[in-house]
Amino acid sequence: MFMKGKKGLIVGIANNKSIAYGIAKACRNQGASLIFTYLNDSIKKRVIPIAKELESDYVYELDVTKDDDLKALTKSLKEDIGEIDFIVHSVAFAPRRSLEGSYLDTLRDDFSLAMDTSVYSLVALCRACEDILSKEASILTLSYLGGPKYVPNYNVMGVAKAALEASVRYLAVDLGAKNGIRVNAVSAGPIKTLAASGIGDFKNILNWNEINSPLKKNVTIDEVGNSGMYLLSDLSKGVTGEIHYVDAGYNIMGMCAVERDENGQMVICWDKQK
């Protein structure tokens, strides 16, 4: 087992359809022991069964936007567990109104909330946990193509993901000099998760990705989970500061896919959307 003896913190899991769940399950399958957090009582009801399924007795309350919560978490982890070997940061939020219409109309408060919750939370989490991370620990966050590229309706969340990916690179340098701690991101293709439900026309994004990706499919949380496990394990000890795409190859495409009809005429992919 690639992660036997490893202990890891999973932050931001919402339910068993979350990408974070896929990563946690893959890590557990490879022998890792897991620690979970929940935002509030509503989320706690979903996280507790997941913790039991993945054989974890450690579940803590955490709001990553509150420094006192982060201090309390690391204090508890130090007392209950000691050092940890990896962290999964799966936290992002923007008000629904900021994921509709024009990015130009984004409100200042909505922008600040999206950046604080989706980006600064990674910085704050890394800083809070720095003293309890083992030598050569691994930190993983979740991004999406809407950061480096334009994706309809992603708006302020795209800007947040761009900032998150930049943070991965800067944190990789800062933490790499301290006990060889690695920081990477997985950029997953579109998946039907709770977070994705807030993005307008998400069904069309799924269809577009399936039609135009080289593998002609959408990825699953298990596929993303296995890639996440690789980046958290010692298999990737030489990898840091990277954005690893798990999107059936969609990110390499410069144009949409085309086919020929029975008359040999070009048929553009959007004519075939489901």
Cα separation, 201 vs 152, whole angstroms:
8
Q: Helix (H, G, I), strand (E, B), or coil: what is residue 126?
A: helix
The pair of three-digit structure tokens given for residue 90, joined into one six-digit string: 């799966």
Integer Cα distance of 149 and 21 in angstroms? 26
Max distance between CA atoms of the chain, in angstroms, equals 71
Element (H, E) at 210: helix 202-212
> Which helix (DSSP H) or strand (DSSP E) does residue 265 occupy?
none
Alpha helices in 81-196 (DSSP H): 108-115, 121-129, 155-176
Q: Which has the closest alpha carbon to 206: 259, 245, 254, 151?
A: 151
* Active site members: 144, 154
Contact (Cβ atoms closer than 8 angstroms) between residue 228 and residue 140: yes
CB 3 within 8 A of CB 237: no
